[in-house]
Amino acid sequence: MIWNESIETMSLEDLKNIQSDHLTQLCRYVYENCPAYKQKFDAHSISLSDINSIDDIVKLPFTTKMDMRDNYPFGLFSRPRTDLVEIHVSSGTTGNPTLVGYTRDDISLWSEVMARTLCCAGAEPDDTVQIAYGYGLFTGGLGFHYGALEMGLTIIPTSSGQTKRQLKIMQDFKPRILCCTPSYCLYMAEEAKELGIDPRSASWYIGIFGAEPWSEAMRGEIEAAWNMLATDVYGLSEIIGPGVSQECTYKEGLHIYSDVFYPEIIDPETGQAVAEGEDGELVVTTLTKQGIPLIRYRTRDIVSMTTEPCKCGRTSPRVSKIKGRTDDMIVVRGINVFPSQIEHVLLGIEGTQPHYQIVIDRAAHKLDQVEIMVEVDEKIFSDEIKQMSALSAKIKKEIEAVLSIGVKVHLVEPKTIERSMGKSKRVVDKRSL
Amino acid sequence: MKITQISVFLENRKGRLSQVCSMLGQAGINIRALTIAETESFGVLRMVVDKPSEAADLFRKNGITANQTAVVAAEVPDKPGGLAEVLKTLSDSDVNVEYMYGFVEKHSENALLVFRFDNPELAARILRENGLKVIDEKGIQGL
């Protein structure tokens, strides 16, 4: 079923008219309500009368993660804090985290796009959904929650973790839909087998997986392990959280809700649009958001896009799975990890040179493992094992505090970390994505 | 009366110890005493050599993490209870032994041991005051 048929199957021409109206209003709205945007528009000599159609969007400046950080906490908001009903925070690269906030209408928008998402994946109004994304500051859990509430599904808000209980709940209440990260889904399959549960007999029929990149090969593995349909969901907290785009049951790209989240694919170097179907950076404008609307936000995710009609009847453009990043961010178990965060910690530990390497592996247990290799130089070396072990434990503790995920720390000899062009290779991703 | 110990950081990798030892051998540096402390992923090789400053230079040039620590080498009677007596003397004086190990060769009728103390000066004095022979750098070279 299609949740909002009149919008989701609208002709491209009508869609364009809606987008044009929204963009004109949005520019006036941020210009009048957000001093940071007013300043940005003025600095680029943009007059509101220049923006009359969605095609004029290219005249507008980009918004970046740096803008969010520079204006932390509330500088990029177009509404006072008192109008916000909810805020979410994600870990920042260094220093400030990324803060987003929702007005009551923004929550309605989120509920709407998440209801579209659930339907797009194949949910029916009578369904029960097990939401095993984390609830809390992370947008995953609550985003799905609002969508399911909007649709009137029966929600089981298990949040993440406690695998045994997840499996028992699945067996007892027989939800047809599972929402979690793809790696957690595979991890649960292993756990199920160990507990003597046949994953192929599970009640889960549809999975909505996201918050980390995953491959077609992984989809095959999940579908074979659980005998379910594995679909991909995309989103980022800056735009709304989950609910920016979602695959339909044909699994031929993610439908992006372009009536509210206007997508562009650009060459990250030049900022110019790439030809349809070519790879480029996804840039999104939140056409109707109130709390913290963003204009031409650079997601740094590399994708391609097609406007060809889909067999499912939805007319919204389809975006590919994430093919890469324009920065060095890595996503581990749904958490964004920047090498600079680790650099920061190492620099903070007296005398430690930031020669390090992050190795990510998706080992036998299917959950991503993070290992931090740190080169030991004379400044931090001690002949006493207890000193070295204490150093290793300190690095581990501080990195874990910053990243909010468990890591292993390995002290290694100098020059053992591979260097290319004199610069060490910071990230080795051994996961088969 | 301290002597210099060279410690080397080593990852637990095949052939690593042999590489370090042959590096010393080729440079004509002789290992007099040696011990390895290990953890799951790395080890620390500690040794007393005849030419400590040359060894330190050698490691620095070859990009091997090493440092120098002051340790005390003392003769311990090679008889039952010989070491126990020495350790008791030290603990009675509130001196803490971080770790210790033995020399490759025997020195006269006594065993020669390397002690790592928090305060090597004090420890060496206590050992001497209790009639034990503490060997200095020259003594090491003359072994």
- Look up the CATH number of the domain holding residue A395: 3.30.300.30
- Split into its structural domains, chain A has a count of 2
**Cβ neighbours of B66 in A, within 8 Å:** 378, 381
Residues A357 and A295 in one domain: no
Which of A378, A383, A412 lies closest to B11 in CB terms?
A: A412
For residue A313, being part of any structural domain is answered with yes
Residues A277 and A338 in one domain: no
Residues A336 and A291 in one domain: no
Residue A197: half-sphere exposure toward Cβ, Cα within 13 Å? 22
CA distance B47 to chain A (A): 10
Interchain CB contact of B32 with A (< 8 Å): no
Q: Report CB contact under 8 Å: B41, A410.
A: yes
The CATH classification number of B70-141 equals: 3.30.70.260
Residue A403 domain boundaries: 332-429
ipTM field = 0.84
B positions 83-112 inside 8 Å of A (CB): 98-99
Residues A230 and A114 in one domain: yes
CA distance B13 to chain A (A): 10
Residues A270 and A352 in one domain: no
Interchain CB contact of A376 with B (< 8 Å): yes
Percentages helix, strand, coil for chain A (3-state, rounded to 5) are 35, 25, 40
Domain residue extents for chain B: 3-68, 70-141
Which of A377, A383, A415 lies closest to B44 in CB terms?
A: A383
Sheet bearing A324-325, strands edge to edge: A261-266, A280-286, A297-303, A324-325
CA distance B18 to chain A (A): 15
Residues A347 and A394 in one domain: yes
CA torsion, ordered A156, A161, A162, A168, to nearest 10 deg: 40
Residues A161 and A265 in one domain: yes
3-state secondary structure of B72: strand
3-state secondary structure of A105: helix
For residue A71, being part of any structural domain is answered with no
Q: What are phi and psi of B74, to 5 degrees?
A: -135, 150
Q: Which residue of A has its CA nearest to B60?
A: A378
Q: What are phi and psi of A133, to 5 degrees?
A: -85, 155
CA distance A323 to chain B (A): 35
For residue A47, being part of any structural domain is answered with no
Could you give the residue ranges of the DSSP H alpha helices within chain B?
Answer: 16-26, 52-61, 82-92, 120-129, 137-141
Residues A320 and A231 in one domain: yes
Residue B87: half-sphere exposure toward Cβ, Cα within 13 Å? 11
Residues A132 and A105 in one domain: yes
Q: What are phi and psi of A302, to 5 degrees?
A: -95, 125
**Cβ neighbours of B41 in A, within 8 Å:** 410-411
Q: Please give the Cα distance from A115 to A147 (Å, whole number).
A: 4
CA distance B66 to chain A (A): 6
- Where a domain ends, among A264, A293, A327? A327
Q: Please give the Cα distance from A141 to A133 (Å, whole number).
A: 5
Q: Please give the Cα distance from B58 to A177 (Å, whole number).
A: 64
Sequential pLDDT tens for chain A (433 residues): 999 999 999 999 999 999 999 999 999 999 999 999 999 999 999 999 999 999 999 999 999 998 998 999 999 999 999 999 999 998 654 557 889 999 999 999 999 999 999 999 999 999 999 999 999 999 999 999 999 999 999 999 999 989 999 999 999 999 999 999 988 898 899 889 989 999 999 999 999 999 887 888 789 989 999 999 999 999 999 999 999 999 999 999 999 999 999 999 999 889 999 999 999 999 999 999 999 999 999 999 989 999 999 999 999 999 999 887 787 778 888 777 877 778 778 877 765 656 788 888 876 667 788 999 988 888 889 999 889 999 999 999 989 988 888 899 999 988 777 765 545 577 888 876 5
Which of B46, B65, B69 lies closest to A413 in CB terms?
A: B65
CB pairs under 8 A between A and B: 51
DSSP code per residue over A370-386: EEEEEE--TTT--S-HH
What's domain B3-68's architecture? 2-Layer Sandwich (3.30)
Q: Which residues pair with A319 in a beta bridge?
A: A254, A305
Residues A256 and A309 in one domain: yes
Confidence (pLDDT) at A139: 94
- Where a domain ends, among A327, A344, A363? A327
Confidence (pLDDT) at A364: 62
The CATH number that applies at residue A321 is 3.40.50.12780
Which of B5, B11, B46 lies closest to A413 in CB terms?
A: B11
Q: Please give the Cα distance from A161 to A132 (Å, whole number).
A: 8
Which of B65, B98, B99 lies closest to A381 in CB terms?
A: B65
For residue A24, being part of any structural domain is answered with no
- Where a domain ends, among A281, A309, A327? A327
Interchain CB contact of B46 with A (< 8 Å): yes
Interchain CB contact of A275 with B (< 8 Å): no
Of the residues A383, A386, A396, the best mutation for testing chain B's interface (the one with the most B CB atoms within 10 Å of its CB) is A383
Residues A170 and A116 in one domain: yes
* DSSP one-letter code for A208: E
Residues A323 and A415 in one domain: no
Q: Which two tokens stand for residue A208?
A: 């909505």
Place of tokens 């199957």: A9
